[in-house]
Amino acid sequence: MRNIILPSAYLAPVQYYAYLYACPEAQVEVCDNYAKQTYRNRCLVAGANGVQALTVPIIKPQNGKSQMRDIRISDHGNWRHLHWNALLSNYERSPFFDYYADDLRPFYEQPIEFLADFNEGLQRTVLTALDLEPRFVRTHAYKATPDADTLDLRQVISPKHATDHDPRFKSVPYYQVFAHKHGFQPNLSIFDLLFNMGPEARLVLRDSLSLP
């Protein structure tokens, strides 16, 4: 499988990046209708009290529906400061946080208008940190049924589904700062894997997916 289509996602989970590791070409869907309770504007990280959800606030479309590419980020609640402080609090003791922090901090200091742009900028930075170079482009029109040679993951990678919803993916345990308190927490944001494992994160991604 050479080509995949993925949803736009804020600091997507390990499952998402396992596919980007395995597949040389990817499309990111930005022409679908925006929906709540997805990874589009929410990620999951590990903290001292367990799994924590970080949500990017958006400006609600006036007509109730809007394509993902048109969704604007809200500045409500000083969320950038809160998200960065949460990452700092949860991961400052992880082995590789300091190594990557300077490349990631600017995303929480400089306002970006559109959610799709914010997600893509973070994604490109994470791929560079992982030393991955998949060719990925945004969609230009919505296709309910993608081309036959494209694996459609738009509904597969979702916080509404357990990872056993995807038979190709398995959660490979790795070191986590708070595992001694809560056990291993599977399929968290790629930040969790990157901060805890550094360059060895690639090995976890490699072993997390089984493709024909």
Whole-structure pTM value:
0.95
CB count in 10 Å sphere of residue 143: 15
Please give the mean pLDDT across all residues of the chain. Answer: 94
Q: How confident is the model at residue 110 (pLDDT cuts 50, 70, 90)?
A: very high
pLDDT confidence of residue 165? 78
In this structure, what token pair is assigned to residue 7?
A: 């949803």
Q: How confident is the model at residue 1 (pLDDT cuts 50, 70, 90)?
A: low
Asked if pLDDT for residue 212 goes beyond 80, the answer is no
Q: Number of structural domains, the chain?
A: 1
| Tens-digit pLDDT profile for residues 62-102 | 777 899 999 999 998 899 999 999 999 999 999 999 999 99
Residue 188 maps to a domain? yes
| Percentage of the chain modeled with pLDDT above 90 | 86
In the numeric block, the tokens 């995949």 are attached to 4
Residue 129 maps to a domain? yes
pLDDT (average), residues 117-135: 96
Residue 212 maps to a domain? no
pLDDT confidence of residue 143? 95
Residue 169 C-beta-side C-alpha neighbours within 13 Å? 23
Residue 39 maps to a domain? yes
Q: How confident is the model at residue 155 (pLDDT cuts 50, 70, 90)?
A: very high
In this structure, what token pair is assigned to residue 203?
A: 């090995």
pLDDT confidence of residue 160? 83
Residue 53's DSSP bridge partners are 44
pLDDT (average), residues 106-125: 97
Q: Which residues form the domain of 67?
A: 3-207
pLDDT confidence of residue 163? 67
| Tens-digit pLDDT profile for residues 38-66 | 999 999 999 999 999 999 999 988 777 89
pLDDT confidence of residue 60? 87
Helices (H), the chain: 14-22, 79-91, 97-104, 115-129, 179-182, 190-197, 201-207
